[in-house]
């Protein structure tokens, strides 16, 4: 019986450590009542090349659901990438206001909603988007991510994901980099979104990369006023007085 109980504890421990959680706003730096914020992760697995945003949205939502941070947690996730046709870009599919803070699932701030908004082409992220939905931090500069667009969230034009170009002609990013303003032809470590049209990277033509996922919007709730201790004391005295008068009558 003791062995069986120990085995159950071990299994439970494994299941808890295999997925991330949605951090409470009280554990996140820089937030005040009324502030808005989102979370972002890089997918733990890779997916192929597609011209459909729905395909990518379903992919990241499915990963989040499996990790317990999706439908059961009331959170919708969308892909941060561009496939073309004008509105089908990252900034439209996964919109983030310039005043909204963005965090990794481990609580690390990526964008502070002031001097470093999430979408811009000239400022670095505060931290690389290298944390997955399964509670894993990716290291190194070999974790390529589909982007199809620029660091501003717009379409890249020449490297749209699924845009009819060869698989290695679609723009990608690097999950190990916090950078934004980058140019084609840089060495690994040079861009979270549009690193380059990947046909210049000498990669295999498998066309299976990771995907960034952005959460639905959260808002810090106003905290309820808690009466001061003196208020509790006055209330207690008043109740005692009422009770005494009732007994006297």
pLDDT tens across the length of the chain (249 residues): 444 433 333 333 333 344 578 999 999 999 999 999 999 999 999 998 888 899 999 999 999 999 999 999 999 999 999 987 656 889 999 999 999 999 999 999 999 999 999 998 777 899 999 999 999 999 876 688 998 888 888 887 777 888 666 666 788 888 888 876 544 444 444 688 876 655 445 454 457 889 999 999 999 997 654 444 444 444 554 555 555 555 555
CATH of the domain at 205: 3.10.100.10
* Residue 18 located in a structural domain: no
What's the rounded Cα separation, in Å, for the pair 89 and 168? Answer: 19
| Lookup result for tokens 């988007």 | 129
Task: Please give the pLDDT value at position 118.
Answer: 95
Q: Is 5 helix (H, G, I), strand (E, B) or coil?
A: helix
Of 49, 77, 81, 80, the C-alpha closest to 63 is 77
Structure tokens at 158: 């020449």
Specify the number of domains making up the chain. 1
Task: Please give the pLDDT value at position 33.
Answer: 95
* Residue 202 located in a structural domain: yes
* Residue 12 located in a structural domain: no
* Residue 73 located in a structural domain: yes
Cα separations (Å) of 166 from 188, 197, 203? 21, 10, 13
* Residue 98 located in a structural domain: yes
* Residue 55 located in a structural domain: yes
Cα 16 to chain centroid distance, Å, stands at 19
* Residue 197 located in a structural domain: yes
* Residue 15 located in a structural domain: no
Instruction: Enumerate the H helices of the chain as residue ranges.
Output: 2-17, 53-67, 90-93, 229-248
Instruction: Enumerate the H helices of 68-171 as residue ranges.
Output: 90-93
What's the rounded Cα separation, in Å, for the pair 213 and 83? Answer: 15
DSSP 172-239: EEETT----S--TTPPTTS-SS--EEGGGTT--TT--BB-EEEEPPEEPPPPPPPPPHHHHHHHHHHH
Output the pTM of the full model. 0.78
The range of the structural domain enclosing residue 154 comes to 28-242
Task: Please give the pLDDT value at position 21.
Answer: 86
């Amino acid at each position: 019986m003791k062995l069986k109980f120990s085995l159950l504890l071990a299994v439970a421990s494994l299941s808890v450590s295999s997925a991330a959680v949605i951090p409470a706003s009280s554990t996140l730096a820089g937030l005040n009542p009324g502030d808005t914020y989102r979370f972002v992760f890089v997918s733990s697995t890779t997916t192929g090349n597609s011209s459909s945003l729905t395909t990518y949205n379903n992919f990241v939502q499915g990963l989040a659901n499996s990790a317990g941070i999706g439908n059961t947690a009331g959170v919708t996730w969308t892909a941060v990438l561009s496939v073309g046709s004008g509105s089908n870009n990252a900034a439209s599919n996964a919109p983030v206001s310039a005043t909204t803070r963005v965090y990794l699932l481990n609580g690390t701030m990526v964008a502070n909603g002031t001097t470093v908004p999430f979408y811009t082409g000239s400022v670095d992220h505060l931290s690389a988007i290298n944390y997955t939905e399964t509670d894993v931090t990716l290291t190194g500069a070999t974790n390529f991510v589909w982007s199809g667009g620029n660091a501003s969230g717009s379409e890249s034009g020449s490297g749209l994901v699924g845009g009819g170009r060869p698989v290695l002609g679609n723009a990608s990013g690097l999950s190990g980099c916090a950078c934004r303003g980058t140019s084609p032809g840089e060495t690994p470590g040079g861009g979270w979104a549009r690193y380059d049209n990947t046909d210049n990277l000498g990669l295999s033509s498998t066309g299976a990369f990771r995907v960034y996922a952005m959460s639905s919007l959260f808002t810090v709730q106003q905290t309820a006023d808690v009466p001061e201790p003196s208020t509790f004391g006055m209330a207690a005295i008043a109740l005692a007085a009422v009770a005494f008068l009732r007994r006297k009558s």
